Amino acid sequence: MPSTTCESSAARCDDSTEPSQLEASQISNSAQEHEDRNFWVLAIFQIVMRTGWIFKTESIVMPAVLDTITSGGPWGGFLRGCLPVLNRFGHSIPPMLFSRRLKVLPQKRVVIFVCTCCMSAIFLLLSATWWLAGATVPWWMPMLFLAAYGTFFVATGINNLAFGTLQGKLIRVTRRGRMLLVANVVGATTAIIAVAVLMPRWLSPTGGRFEMIFGFTGVCFAGAALLLLLLKEPHDNYQEAGQGARHLFVSAWNLLRSDANFRRLAWVALAFSCSLLLFPHYQALGRSKPLSLSFDNLLVWLIVQNIGTAMFSVLAGPIADRRGNRLVLQGAMLGICSMPLVAIGLSHWSAWGATLYPGVFLFIGLMPVGFKTFSNYTLEICQPEDHPRYLSTLGLCFALPLVISPVLGWVVEATSYELVFLSVSGILFVGWLLTFRLHEPRHAIEVEVLETVVPEDD
């Protein structure tokens, strides 16, 4: 499909009719020429990123790092609760503000390269800071950690927006599930091998050598950035006048008002994102009474979580390509809503709870699959020139529940894990029910293909 010049992100200026679902699912002829090469470059990029990412996992490593440099208690729970807020802020507001600029850029890979380099630099800086601090914990260490964490996710949010847009530009819809499978299965395997070999050297029952952990992550991100130089990306020719930040949020609101199916997807995303509220607290629950698991259990949890990602990707990838992303979303939501129930149940099982608690992190391995499936579903229901606008609006929906995360962290420490975990599980169950009201765009594509091949009689 040739590039088009557009005056707005909501419509194509060269065609007064609404573009078809079939057209939205295709890529340009120039992209098709290099699709195989780009498929493997993007897949290997994700594999290298996942290998580094396992050493800074949000559900395990980063909360544990923060716990080691704070005094614990409600204040520690409050700071732990700040992690999802910073995470989702970076995934929502900066991508929203950057979406128009990304759309008009001729090549999207430049953004991914710059953002990945920034992500690498931040972790190399953290590594150097921990190395220089030694055994002491300066009073400013928690603030520095949170500032670096927030800045990292600003770069990550823009990076993910650009990657999703680039994938929609270079890879056909029926190959995106295969990319999810390859990237997550191979990436999880390399990540498990890396963490199994290296983490035992860097973890102890009471702490860890975080300068080594962060340094390895930074090196992996730098290597991934260099892979982007191998991409063959055709130039875009989209145009849209800048109208300020307020216009971007008004545009997102108008999108939610005008697109009923995307509005339903936004409600599902809100429910899905509530699961992130619990991420910093799963490892804290495991290390609290009565389980009282030690710090070196993080190694097992990291491995199990990545096994879960690989296992669920093996199922999700082929299903997404053959049956559509909606079915994968339904399965992911159902599995994720069971995570808090399993965690609370095991914490009360004195006989086998400590032994089986790593199973909780098997379900957490669904989260990367879920986020990727949301992105792939969104790419199917809009035109290529609208990909940044839809994806950034979706990111904003993911972020909204995280506003209460610090307060929730305080509530967890001040009351009980049971109250918070069971409430979030109920919200996730409602989100699962809402997935049945989503349209399946793959059905529309199949009908249009049939009508193209066998046109109706006049």
Per-residue 3-state assignment (H helix, E strand, C coil) for 211-280: HHHHHHHHHHHHHHHHHHHHCCCCCCCCCCCCCHHHHHHHHHHHHHHHCHHHHHHHHHHHHHHHHHHHHH
Beta bridge partners of 203: 208
Instruction: Give me the pLDDT at residue 378, please.
Output: 92
- Terminal-residue alpha carbon distance, the chain: 28
Specify whether the backbone of 240 is left (phi greater than 0), alpha (psi in -120 to 50) or beta.
Answer: beta
Instruction: Give me the pLDDT at residue 353, please.
Output: 74
Decide: 232 and 34 in contact? Cβ < 8 Å: yes
Nearest to 369 by CA among 195, 181, 187, 194: 181
Distance (Å, whole) CA 327 – CA 373? 10
Distance (Å, whole) CA 396 – CA 128? 33
Tell me which H or E stretch contains 105.
none
Structural tokens at position 314 = 């093996």
User: What's 119-138 look like in SS3?
Assistant: HHHHHHHHHHHHHHHCCCCC
Structural tokens at position 161 = 């927006």
The residues near 451 (Cβ < 8 Å, ≥ 6 apart) are none
Encode burial over 353-379: b for 16+ CB neighbours within 10 A, e otherwise: bbeebbebbbbbbbbbbbbbbbbbbbb
Q: How far is CA 326 from CA 96, 320, 431, 434, in A?
A: 24, 8, 13, 11
Instruction: Give me the pLDDT at residue 243, please.
Output: 65
DSSP string, 399-437: HGGGGGHHHHHHHHHHS-HHHHHHHHHHHHHHHHHHGGG
Structural tokens at position 21 = 């679902």
Instruction: Give me the pLDDT at residue 44, please.
Output: 96
Distance (Å, whole) CA 66 – CA 58? 11
Angle between helices 366-380 and 176-202 (to 10 degrees): 150
The residues near 165 (Cβ < 8 Å, ≥ 6 apart) are 102, 103, 108, 387, 388, 391
Decide: 120 and 222 in contact? Cβ < 8 Å: yes
Total length of the chain = 458
Amino acid at the residue 64: A
Q: CB-hemisphere CA count at 13 Å for 443?
A: 5
What's the burial of 134, exposed, middle or buried (CB within 10 Å: 0-12/13-18/19+)?
A: exposed
Instruction: Give me the pLDDT at residue 289, please.
Output: 67
| φ and ψ at residue 208, rounded to 5 degrees | -160, 165
Instruction: Give me the pLDDT at residue 52, please.
Output: 92
Measured from the Cβ of residue 74, the count of other Cβ atoms closer than 10 Å reads 13
Instruction: Give me the pLDDT at residue 201, please.
Output: 83
What is the CA angle 18-24-26, rounded to 5?
A: 140
The residues near 133 (Cβ < 8 Å, ≥ 6 apart) are 141
pLDDT < 70: residue spans in the chain: 1-26, 59, 71-77, 135, 137, 204-208, 240-245, 287-296, 443-458
What is the widest separation between alpha-carbon atoms in the chain?
82
- Tens digits of per-residue pLDDT, 187-230? 989 998 998 898 888 876 656 678 888 999 999 999 999 999 99
Whether the ω angle into residue 290 lies within 30 degrees of 0, i.e. cis, is yes
Distance (Å, whole) CA 59 – CA 280? 5
Instruction: Give me the pLDDT at residue 364, please.
Output: 84
**Rg of the chain taking only CA atoms, in angstroms:** 22
Ordered by where they begin, the domains of the chain are: 21-234+258-453 (1.20.1250.20)
Please tell me what DSSP assigns to residue 171: S
Measured from the Cβ of residue 235, the count of other Cβ atoms closer than 10 Å reads 9
Please tell me what DSSP assigns to residue 9: S
Please tell me what DSSP assigns to residue 296: G
Q: pTM higher than 0.95, yes or no?
A: no
